[in-house]
Amino acid sequence: MIEFAIAEFARATFCEFVVEPKCRNALSHAVRAIAGLAEQSYGQMERATSSRQRIACKAGCSHCCYMRVVATVPEVIALADFVALNFSKAQFAAMRKRVMNVKTRGLTDEQWGVAHHACPLLVDGECSAYAARPLECRGYNSTDVRACRAAAKDYLEWEVPMDAALMSTFKSAQAGLLQALTHFGHSPRLVELTAALRVIFRDECAIDRWLAGENPFAEAEIDLWDPEQRAFLPWVPSDELRTEAGSEKPR
């Protein structure tokens, strides 16, 4: 299946570029290569399927930018590096302020959606770091903008039709990254994007500490019982996740 091929490419690419995860440039390069392959793979699938519904997403449509975004730590580091290299001092300061002012730690997807928190990268209705956006953002889509508007008004009644193949393509790439992290001894956990960026802005050594084998992003990790984390259980060989999956869910 194409999903397994994408996941294996992501795992192998990260392991190849980052033989020892101590180089930020190599890490960012690997993330960009993985995102590029996923986009190319979906493009090939799209051309081969004439019956697929047209995606309604376009520039200026930002309903989904008020949803929780989860990512792997390498994606967050690559994004932070992009911001550091491409944002002006004023842009960086404004984005940092937005990140630090929103308290999102521990929020579920539903709680985030109900609170209607805007992504700190959203500026004038568009993503200010579009070229380096996380894999989940690249995969999320809609075939009906009216459904997006309705979901934005009442998130608990969320029912947005989408091209599942597009989302699956990028989630498969994310699965491969989690597998690679396990290989290097890092926590195979997803982090909430804004909370992870807050860690970086609060501790200028956070990325270097992570590259050295520490886990400064633990506070940004989503709960083990979160549906988005549990969706990766079949992909990630982690004793921690397997133990939690086999136990009774805490009340």
- Residue 133's pLDDT is what? 96
- Residue 183's pLDDT is what? 86
Q: What percent of the chain has pLDDT over 70?
A: 89
**What does the chain look like in DSSP terms, one character per residue?**
-HHHHHHHHHHHHHHHH-SSS--HHHHHHHHHHHHHHHHHHHHHHHHH-TTPPPP---TT--GGGGS--EE-HHHHHHHHHHHHHHS-HHHHHHHHHHHHH---TT--HHHHHHHTPPPTTEETTEETTGGG--HHHHH---S-HHHHHHHHH-GGG------HHHHHHHHHHHHHHHHHHHHTT-----EEHHHHHHHHHH-TTHHHHHHTT--TTGGGBPPTTSHHHHTTTTT---HHHHHHHHSPPP-
- Residue 79's pLDDT is what? 97
pLDDT digits (tens, 9 = 90+) for 110-158: 898 888 889 999 999 999 999 999 999 999 999 998 988 888 888 887 7
- Residue 103's pLDDT is what? 79
- Residue 45's pLDDT is what? 73
pLDDT digits (tens, 9 = 90+) for 64-102: 899 999 999 999 999 999 999 999 999 999 999 999 988
Whether the per-residue pLDDT at 13 is higher than 80: the answer is yes
pLDDT digits (tens, 9 = 90+) for 15-63: 888 766 567 888 999 999 999 999 998 887 766 565 567 888 888 888 8
- Residue 249's pLDDT is what? 53
Averaged pLDDT score across all residues of the chain: 87
- Residue 251's pLDDT is what? 46
pLDDT digits (tens, 9 = 90+) for 95-109: 999 999 887 878 888
pLDDT digits (tens, 9 = 90+) for 233-251: 877 655 555 555 454 454 4
